[in-house]
A and B are shown apart, each in its own frame.
Chain A
């Protein structure tokens, strides 16, 4: 019951967005459907005349159908950029097969005697087509259009990955934020759209033959009207375009905070982080949301803007250790703290870049770095107890785990086992409290917002201050879970707004406030 209530609360809060997304979704579906009909119908008619070409053309359309939608969207980006164009092209390609195939089947299955009669009575080829073949194939063609529509409603959710909008924004945002209400707010309307359009088209499919002419006139009109829905939602105009991940769009320490605290008004599209950095690099986007130590910052020559009003909570990284392990191996704390102060944001970005883009192994990168800093010692190969190091499933954590491994092996007789690639925060943390691992690198913000019980007002007060957040999580972890936060390593892997270095320098934008001022002055 509470779930249902909170769902409706969410809906009413976000009704504007929901309406916009729904209209965009309908628009995307029908623009691509309209184009697909314009192409597929003549093509279907053509191959019903040239049966020899039917196999190859249906084959090609069939292959297009089997390409995974994400891959198809990915392929489109270098050619068509991001936004509505690649989305429509992808949806168009998916809609082709059912319409071509059904047009072809519908026409070729018409009773040969009827066609012979039509010809024998003196009808020209075009009269046979419009008066006999198309009307008789109509139900089958409509069935194809129905299938294409349902496919398009489904695939159009993925448009949110490439900044084309639609209900996918809620769905993927909800998944990223683990917000069931948000997922449902996207998924239920999407499902309803599929069901409603399928139903309406099924009614159209069973039309009385007597009125068929009317329907042939209504259908294109209806499609154009539905297509135009995409252009109804009016975005904020402006020269700069921001691309934010679905997750960022829904977070207080994200788009919501940017609007509330900074009053930032920028034209915004929703986009998957898989393509976001490249899109910024290729000047399709000017501002993106990202993580401050992401290797792609370096790869695509981006810089982060200073969060001068502190809306992004600090995500300082520090090893968190089970206190039982510290009790049994007191030397551990000193060893792990050796790393503290050596890695700042840009150092971490650089290290991530080496792993993610230069494809060096985390072991190599860790060893080179420690050598450079004079922390490397040859392993002692002792036969003490085994320390188990955990890590989450991304490059930065792999590198840190390797560094700790080297430090422990070089400075003690302990042995090390690494358990890298533990899915997410929850898995790592449970493994730590259950003594399946002894420590792993965690971020203060995550400790505060994901693991600890939520106390909104208190958090809002301390959020801006990295020292306060650190001491709060340290205290609470100790009290609640018997886990100790060691000294922070130094870098802060938090959300950040990013721009191309060149553009930011030209416009003299260093902080989010600078960005806001620039936008206001250049309307």
Chain B
């Protein structure tokens, strides 16, 4: 879907991006991760030709960006900004209608699409005639996402989309983001400096430093097979949390022991959850019943910790 070949960009003698290459497959989410100034935003903006690379080429749908009219290119790529970038002089409905209007959709079609997105993104229905300044930060960011999705583009670029939100709102929107059906089949490239976020949302993570790729791979690969000391150091502080996030219940299933059959509030399918999300849920309740096919196991946080320890010792040994 997106193919980047040896792109470089220099600003006033500062090298922002150096000979960068990567591919994003259709429907995949690639996270550009790194500290500020590592060139990740520059890279993102070269994908929709907001910035023209000095060298190298970007191919979108197999076509070289240099040969495509930039406006046409951008009409097919959704773009979400850190500070929403909503037009302050447009109502919410008008903001959401910008791209459809540029594409000359009919009024009725635009109206239907707007209503649909408002519902899907859990926005209040009376929001349509409000102006951006009348919205909360979380609502603004949701509208920003809705605007990018309005014309249903196959590709979505996101520049720190949750960066300006408070932690509670951020987590809420992130979890909505994960379940939003609109995003399921999209090719997404997202920039973040938040390691947790990258591991939660990314199929592939491209870890960058000083305009170069340190490592590109799945979260698990980065965690378990770091290519260099730098990669290891970058992830070190959050090693435990990250490993919990990358570890599925499936992998650890043999080590989990049931504690009996006390009454439980919640039943979870082991196929669909990471270890981390179960730990999060156990913060509020004592017991959870886990199911895998016909097998059922009731767990507490202590019993899960035991299972993790066992899993680790087993794997360390094989390493």
Contact = CB atoms under 8 A, between A and B. Distances in A.
A121 B90 CA distance: 15
A155 to B, nearest CB: 34
Interface in A102-153: 111, 113-114, 116-124, 127, 132, 135-136
A116 B81 contact: yes
| Chain A CB within 10 A, most for which of B81, B83, B87, B102 | B87
A122 B71 contact: yes
B23 to A, nearest CB: 22
Interface string B57-94: 00000000000000111110101011111111111000
B208 interface: no
Contacts of B77: 120
Q: Chain A contact residues: over half helix, strand or loop, or mixed?
A: helix
A204 to B, nearest CB: 15
B91 A210 contact: yes
Contact of A123 (B82, B83, B84, B102): B102
B15 interface: no
B277 to A, nearest CB: 33
A2 B3 CA distance: 89
A113 B89 CA distance: 14
A233 to B, nearest CB: 41
Interface in B121-137: 131
A119 B79 CA distance: 10
A122 B147 CA distance: 12
B267 interface: no
Nearest to A120: B79
B99 interface: yes
B2 to A, nearest CB: 15
Contact of A120 (B48, B84, B89, B131): B48
Interface residues of A, number: 19
B90 A209 contact: yes
Contacts of B81: 113, 116-117, 120
Contacts of B102: 121-123, 127
A106 B268 CA distance: 56
Q: Which of A113, A117, A209 has the most CB of B within 10 A?
A: A117
B259 interface: no
Nearest to B73: A122
B98 interface: yes
B71 A124 contact: yes
Contacts of B88: 111, 114, 136, 209
Contact of B79 (A114, A121, A135): A121
A209 B129 CA distance: 12
B71 A135 contact: no
B50 interface: yes
Given A113-B81, A113-B83, A113-B85, A120 B50 contact: yes
B89 A135 contact: yes
A275 interface: no
B74 A122 contact: yes
Given A121-B98, A122-B71, A122-B72, A132 B83 contact: no
Nearest to A115: B85
B75 A122 contact: yes
A307 B13 CA distance: 84
Contacts of A114: 85-88
Nearest to B103: A122
A122 B148 CA distance: 11
A213 to B, nearest CB: 11
A212 B89 contact: yes
Interface in A208-233: 209-210, 212
Contact of A118 (B73, B84, B87, B157): B87
Contact of B50 (A113, A116, A210): A116
Contacts of B82: 113
A245 to B, nearest CB: 52
Interface string A476-501: 00000000000000000000000000
A120 B74 contact: yes
Nearest to B83: A113
A113 B82 CA distance: 9
A122 B87 CA distance: 14
B85 A116 contact: yes
A111 B87 CA distance: 10
Nearest to A210: B91
Contacts of B89: 135-136, 209, 212
Contacts of A212: 89
A122 B99 contact: yes
B187 to A, nearest CB: 16
A132 B91 contact: no
Contact of A117 (B71, B72, B75, B79): B79
Nearest to A125: B71
Contacts of B99: 121-122
Contacts of A116: 50, 81, 85
Interface centre among B72, B81, B89, B147 (most CB of A within 10 A): B89
Given A122-B74, A123-B102, A124-B71, A117 B85 contact: yes
A136 B86 CA distance: 12
A409 to B, nearest CB: 82
A111 B85 CA distance: 8
A126 to B, nearest CB: 11
A210 B79 CA distance: 25
A118 B99 CA distance: 10
Nearest to A119: B50
B157 to A, nearest CB: 8
B148 to A, nearest CB: 8
B226 to A, nearest CB: 34
Nearest to B91: A210
A141 B131 CA distance: 22
Nearest to B129: A210
Interface in B230-280: none
A387 to B, nearest CB: 80
Contacts of B48: 120
Contacts of B83: 111, 113
A116 B77 CA distance: 14
Contacts of B98: 121, 123
Which are the 3 A-B pairs with shortest beta-carbon distances?
A117-B85, A122-B75, A120-B79
29 contacts: A111-B83, A111-B85, A111-B88, A113-B82, A114-B86, A114-B87, A116-B50, A117-B79, A117-B85, A117-B87, A119-B74, A120-B74, A120-B77, A120-B79, A121-B75, A121-B79, A121-B98, A121-B99, A121-B147, A122-B71, A122-B73, A122-B74, A123-B71, A123-B102, A124-B71, A132-B87, A136-B87, A209-B89, A209-B131
Given A121-B147, A127-B102, A209-B89, 13 more contacts: A111-B88, A116-B50, A117-B81, A117-B87, A118-B87, A119-B74, A120-B77, A121-B75, A121-B79, A122-B74, A122-B75, A209-B88, A209-B131
